[in-house]
A and B are shown apart, each in its own frame.
Chain A
Amino acid sequence: MTQACHRKCVPPHYKDAELSKGESVCLDRCVAKYLEVHERMGKKLTELSLQDEELLRRMQQGTGTA
């Protein structure tokens, strides 16, 4: 996350030691987006894996009774 946001938000012009206002605003937004995407992807992946699980269970029940 640090690398991605640094690449997006901090251009390599090093005239000032402090983060300027624009850069710090950009970093705030970058981190918030990253965490939200992380959470959504986690939920989606667990949903998909539950579906896979269901499918596998049904296949096994099918082969078990067959």
Chain B
Amino acid sequence: GCLRAVMAAAPPPSAPGGPEPPAAPPLQYSMLLQHLVGEQRRPRAWDPATLGGIPSPPKSEEQKMVERAMESCAFKAALACVGGFVLGGAFGVFTAGIDTNVGFDPKDPYRTPTAKEVLKDMGQRGISYAKNFAIVGAMFSCTECVVESYRGKSDWKNSVISGCITGGAIGFRAGLKAGVIGCGGFAAFSAAIDYYLR
């Protein structure tokens, strides 16, 4: 209704009887559009501090860059890698502590191992567990981040899909069937963890 009134108020009919009719002035409708969405719209200075209703201090460029870096997939994967390394190391040393085979010398099975041998064995085992955990953690975190960025949603399916990819990739080195089992197992494990965390 509003637009029709504007169109009706459009240019008065040109005066008859001139050698040539004067050019009709442009429609008010099209002038309105030019000013709203077309060539002649005025640039507005949006103040980012007040956008969003609640005024907050504007973020500096460095702060934005740091926040973007911390939210990136690479940073999350690196964080998971380091965390996995530490956790794997602790886990390896712990399991070596309760394992009776540590320091076992195949040449002389009845000799009690020296403290140095035991420590060396525990260290090696801890390092190997740590590397495995670090790789698995980094892979899982990276795939989960990529899947979440692709889907644009954040729900339980992200961890299940990335668990399947990670488990499948790890198990695939031992054959196709191991890959499928690894996919299913790891997906179920990460779904359980997700359920517990949410």
Contacts and interface: CB of A to CB of B under 8 A. Distances in A.
Interface string A1-31: 0100000010100010000111111100100
B10 A22 contact: no
A65 B45 CA distance: 48
Main secondary structure of the interface of A (DSSP, over half): helix
Interface string A37-62: 01101110110011011001100110
B149 A22 contact: yes
Contacts of A49: 27, 29-30, 33
B71 A21 contact: yes
Interface in B21-39: 21, 23-24, 26-27, 29-30, 33-34, 36-39
B64 interface: no
A15 B195 CA distance: 13
B95 interface: no
B77 to A, nearest CB: 12
A40 to B, nearest CB: 10
B158 interface: yes
Interface size class of B (residues with CB under 8 A): 20 to 34
A61 B11 CA distance: 12
Interface residues of A, number: 30
A29 B30 contact: no
Given A22-B154, A50-B30, A56 B10 contact: yes
8 contacts: A22-B151, A23-B152, A29-B152, A43-B38, A46-B30, A46-B38, A52-B29, A64-B14
Given A21-B73, A21-B149, A45-B37, 5 more contacts: A22-B148, A22-B158, A43-B38, A53-B26, A56-B10
Interface of A: 2, 9, 11, 15, 20-26, 29, 38-39, 41-43, 45-46, 49-50, 52-53, 56-57, 60-61, 63-65
